[in-house]
Structure 1
Amino acid sequence: MFLYLLVYVAYHSSRWLPRTQRFKFQIVNAVFILVVLIPQIYIMARPKSSRYCSQPLLVNLSASVVLSFIASGFSLLFTLIDPLPQSLWASFHVFGLLSCGHGLCTSVLTLTAAECVKSTPELYYMSVALTVASAVSAGFLLLRGGLWLSNMRPVAQTG
């Protein structure tokens, strides 16, 4: 859910700016994408990360990198296109489901990989960081969704 939340925040933050000033936001967006991607790629490329671990944390991290690239594409599109086509919104929400599933998998793998802290510490701590980020993001999005549902007005019944 962490990557879904990042795109969501990028979209809503860019809408506060006039269209003519969104280029500056694109630069900030690119820097933020690099801040998210570089540590993941660095840890994935380290020789220590390929050591034996009972859980497939390296495979999970590579899935996270792929999802991070997809999220960067969404954040770029969402800040450039105005108005957004319905099909792009739909694909973004499918990405959100994938991101949620990845967050759940990361959480389960991290909770069951306590012995990996000795063999692959950087990989394990990156997995812990992704788990915490995913849990915080899920909590925020659940709170946001609950507030959205509470503000919906009931449909008037005719009869």
Structure 2
Amino acid sequence: MFLYMLIFMAYHSSRWLPRNQRLKFQIVNAVFIAIVLVPQFYVMGRPKSSRYCRQPLLNNLSASIALSFIASGLSVIFTLVDPVPQSMWASYHVFGLLSFGQGLCTAILTLTAAACVKTTPELYYLSLILTITSISSTGFFAVKGGLWLTKRWPMQRDLSRNNE
């Protein structure tokens, strides 16, 4: 869910700028993309990362890189297009489900790969960082979704009372 949150933050922070200055925001967007992708490529290119590890952490890292590229494309589209079409919002939410699933897989694989610290330390620690960021962003969206539901629930209840 970390990549889903990055798109969310890029979209909402770009809306603070006037439409004619949003292209300048792409520099900030490119920096965040580099901050996310460079460590992943660095760890992928390390010779120690190809050593044997019982859990498929390297395969999980390649999936994370693929999702990072998709997230970078979505963040560029969401910051430049105004208004964002409904189909793009739908693809964004489907990406969120994929990101959640990938974060869940990362957490499970990392928690069961304690022996990989000795054979592939960089890969294990990057997976640990990705797990922590995924759990944190999932918590953020859980709280945000809970607040959204509590805000909407009394209104739905009041509407049902008026229909009686």
Moved over 2 A (4+): none
- Counterpart residue number, 2:46: 46
> Structure 1: how far apart are the matches of 2:24 and 2:84?
20
TM-score (norm 2): 0.95
**Partner secondary structure for residue 159 of structure 2:** coil
The question of 1:144 aligning with 2:147 is answered: no
TM-score (norm 1): 0.98
Per-residue deviation, 1:141: 0.5
Per-residue deviation, 1:7: 0.3
> Structure 2: how far apart are the matches of 1:143 and 1:16?
23
- Counterpart residue number, 2:4: 4
> Structure 2: how far apart are the matches of 1:150 and 1:127?
34
Per-residue deviation, 1:23: 1.8
- Counterpart residue number, 1:105: 105
Residue correspondences, number: 159
The question of 1:156 aligning with 2:140 is answered: no
> Structure 1: how far apart are the matches of 2:35 and 2:111?
25
- Counterpart residue number, 2:16: 16
> Structure 2: how far apart are the matches of 1:133 and 1:25?
24
> Structure 1: how far apart are the matches of 2:73 and 2:128?
25
Per-residue deviation, 1:24: 1.9
Q: Higher helix fraction: Structure 1 or Structure 2? A: 2
Per-residue deviation, 1:78: 0.1
> Structure 2: how far apart are the matches of 1:15 and 1:67?
24
Q: What residue ranges of structure 2 are gaps of 5+ in the alignment?
A: none
Q: What residue ranges of structure 1 are gaps of 5+ in the alignment?
A: none
**Percent of aligned pairs with the same residue?**
68
> Structure 1: how far apart are the matches of 2:30 and 2:118?
34
- Counterpart residue number, 1:72: 72
Superposed CA RMSD: 0.8
The amino acid across from 1:37 in the alignment is: L
Superimposed CA distance per residue, residues 44-74 of structure 1 (whole angstroms, 9 cap, x where no aligned partner)? 0111100000000000000000000000000
The amino acid across from 2:159 in the alignment is: A
